[in-house]
Amino acid sequence: MTVLCDLRSDTVTRPCAGMRAAMAAAEVGDDVYGEDPTVAHLEARLSEMLGKEAGLFLPSGSMSNLCALMALGGRGDAVITGKPYHVNAWEAGSASVLGGMMIVPLAPGPDAALEPEDVAAAIFEDDPHFARTRILSIENTVSGQAVSLARMDAAIAPARAAGLSVHLDGARLFNASVALGVEARELAARADTVSVCLSKGLGAPVGTVLVGPREVIHHARRARKLLGGAMRQAGVLAAAALWALDHVLPRLSDDHARATALAEGLSGLDIGAVRARTNMVHLRPHAQLGDLRGALAAKGILVGTPDPESRMVLHRDVDDQSLAAALTVFRNVSTGKPPVAMP
């Protein structure tokens, strides 16, 4: 079966010829010795873009989040975060298992932001019975939802008042920036540390950069080594990320426009409840459609596992033609008509 359109995630992109050429031409050195100029360039460029003192290139967003928490806190500390946020829900319990920290998960509001009164109530008193609450870990975007500056500020205020550090999981920070019409550094300014993935909407094959104060990044560098994430001639990967900042970042809004177009197309088919947010579309299909995901996959359209909504993510490997092909298959599958020839 030929895959016509892979909408499972923005992590599925493959490096194009231009990105591969940049990788092939990268100047490299041993980054564990601090000798890879391309990695150093990427770290400097992102920390400058986001208004922070220093940056650290890591193999993944999960490791970046964990290194941030380990640099901002330690064993016996409590971390307040959102229940559905990646740090709590999708990182194999690493903050507890490897960081020795206690996660205090809160249910976010309908816009995916944490409610200030919940954050305030979750901060433990200074009492030997309780863990020390040291960190608030927020996320933006959350499942595609961009959280406004005002709502970020509201959630952060009680944490700052209690002296907590703030980590921002900005795996898709630039999508939030585009959707809100706010500079990424404005979002980053709210937090001490910010983790930005290069391998999601930006389309690089590997990598995340954690930015923050020099002292904190120094600790995060040790945590990265501890976790086995220090890499040698990683400049080949950093070069792909630098290429993405030049060529993919300026066109992130195309993915958002295609997400809106996909949601509008699906709404017209009346196959269920549809919602578009930044580069993601969520679909809760009508029950009578049965295994919609399987039926789509049989025709070459891949979508996320229903949970109970199916997630579809737009990215640089989905162009107008493959999006039109996806909508044609959706139409055929939902109406039971025989497949028509693909454009």
Residue ranges in contact with ligand PLP by CB under 6 A: 60-62, 65, 86, 139, 169, 171, 197, 199, 208
Strand 54-58 relative to strand 208-212: parallel, antiparallel, unpaired?
antiparallel
Smallest distance, ligand PLP to C-beta of residue 267, A: 25
Residue 4 vs 80, nearer CB to ligand PLP: 80
Q: What are phi and psi of 105, to 5 degrees?
A: -85, 135
Contact 161, 119 (CB under 8 A): no
By beta-carbon proximity to ligand PLP, the closer residue of 252 and 333 is: 252
Least distance to ligand PLP, CB of residue 139, Å = 5
Residue 289: Cβ-neighbour burial (10 angstroms; 0-12, 13-18, 19+): middle
Give least dist CB 332 to ligand PLP, A.
Answer: 30
Alpha carbon distance 170, 40 (integer Å): 20
The overall longest dimension of the chain from CA atoms, in Å, is 69
**C-beta closer to ligand PLP: residue 61 or 235:** 61
From the list 320, 322, 294, the residue with the least C-alpha distance to 5 is 322
Question: Measured from the CB atom, is 65 or 177 closer to ligand PLP?
Answer: 65
Least Cβ distance, residue 303 to ligand PLP (angstroms):
16
| 272-277 and 132-139 strand pairing | unpaired
Residue sitting closest to ligand PLP (CB): 61
Give the nearest distance from C-beta 162 to ligand PLP in angstroms: 25
Q: What does the alpha-carbon distance between residue 139 and residue 82 come to, in Å, rounded to a whole number?
A: 8
**Nearer Cβ to ligand PLP (38/65):** 65
Q: Name the minimum Å distance from CB 67 to ligand PLP.
A: 12
Give the C-alpha separation, 332 to 267, whole Å.
15
Residue with tokens 């921002």: 168
- Ranges of beta strands (E only) in the chain are 5-6, 54-58, 77-82, 102-106, 132-139, 165-169, 193-197, 208-212, 272-277, 280-285, 301-302, 310-313
Which of 94/334 has CB closer to ligand PLP? Answer: 94
Task: Tell me which residue of 319, 286, 322, 280 sits closest to 301, measured CA to CA.
Answer: 322
Which helix or strand (DSSP H or E) is residue 265 part of? helix 252-269
> Among residues 237 and 325, whose Cβ is nearest to ligand PLP?
237
Closest approach of ligand PLP to the CB of residue 338, in Å: 36
Residue placing its CB nearer to ligand PLP in the complex, 242 or 271: 242
Asked if 279 and 144 touch (Cβ cutoff 8 Å), the reply is yes
Q: How far is the CB of 96 from ligand PLP (least distance, A)?
A: 17
